[in-house]
Structures are given as structure tokens and as C-alpha cells.
A = this chain, B = another copy of it.
Amino acid sequence: MADHDRFARALQIVARGVGRISRERARSGEVTPQQAETLLVISERGAVSTSSLAMTLGIDPSTASRNLAGLEKAGFITRKKGTDDGRQTDVRLTPRGKRAADTTAAGSSQAFAALLERVGRPDRQKLTDALEALARVLDGESAV
């Protein structure tokens, strides 16, 4: 099998596994999987606009808007008209939203740590480094 096929295959299995873990975790939480993901992105960025969030998640801006409406109604975020550009929406976490984001991040960290434990010790450092390199590329691609 060609190298890039091996890469693609492994990447897909990994993404599938991460999705599985996230979904399992969400079933016992106070937010839905997509809400958790949205809160995490906002938490990492501090403040986002609707469209930049949509870009990061790879979803339609209309979908992002609807998801944010739900989070706002539930008291996790606030939406204000942007000061620089009146068309944009300035999305921020409420204290409650920040708590939820932190809880989610902690839970994920724990779940993934358990996973990392099952990788051979000598490979762990390599794995983290490699993933971070890939994450940098992917983050650049979804940049505002």
C-alpha cells in the first residue's frame, strides 16, 4: 500500500475513534456533542464570529448560527453586534459556558490520556509531536 494510502487509512480510523469517544462522553454530559465542540472552539479562541466558527468546524454558517442560538438560549454564550464590523457577531462564553467548556476539555483530556497509555511508551512522545505537526497544518487551513 502506498504511503499516502496508509496515512489516509490510519487517519480515518483515528478520526472514527475520536468521534466514538466524544459521542460516548457527550451522552453523560449536560451538552450535546456539537455544543461541546462549539464551546471548546470558542474557549480556545476567546471570541469568534459566526462565520469563523463555521469555517473552523467545516459547517455552513447558517448551521453555526442555529447552533449558537441554542447555546445562547441555554445561557452558555452571549452574542453581540461586533464593534469593528457591524455585520459580524461577537460570540463569547458566559461564566457558565466557560465552566462547561473546561469540564468538557478536562473530560476529553482524561479520555484521551487513557488512550495514550495504551500506546507503547517509546511511541508516545513521537505520537504527540506528530499530531501537533498535523494539527498545525489543519489549523492553518481553517484560519480566519
Q: Quick one: which of B15, B118, B131 contacts A19, CB cutoff 8 A?
A: B15
Q: What is the oligomeric copy number?
A: 2
Q: Mark A121-133, 1 if CB is under 8 A from B, else 0.
A: 0011111111111
Q: Mark A1-18, 1 if CB is under 8 A from B, else 0.
A: 001111111111111111
CB-CB under 8 A for A12 and B108, given A58-B24, A113-B7, A119-B133: yes
Tell me the chain A residues, 1-50 only, with Cβ under 8 Å from chain B: 3-24, 37, 40
Of all A-B residue pairs in the complex, the 4 with the closest CB atoms, nearest first, are: A20-B58, A17-B138, A4-B113, A15-B18
A residues in contact (CB < 8 Å) with B: 3-24, 37, 40, 56-59, 105, 108-109, 111-113, 115-116, 118-120, 123-135, 137-139, 141-142
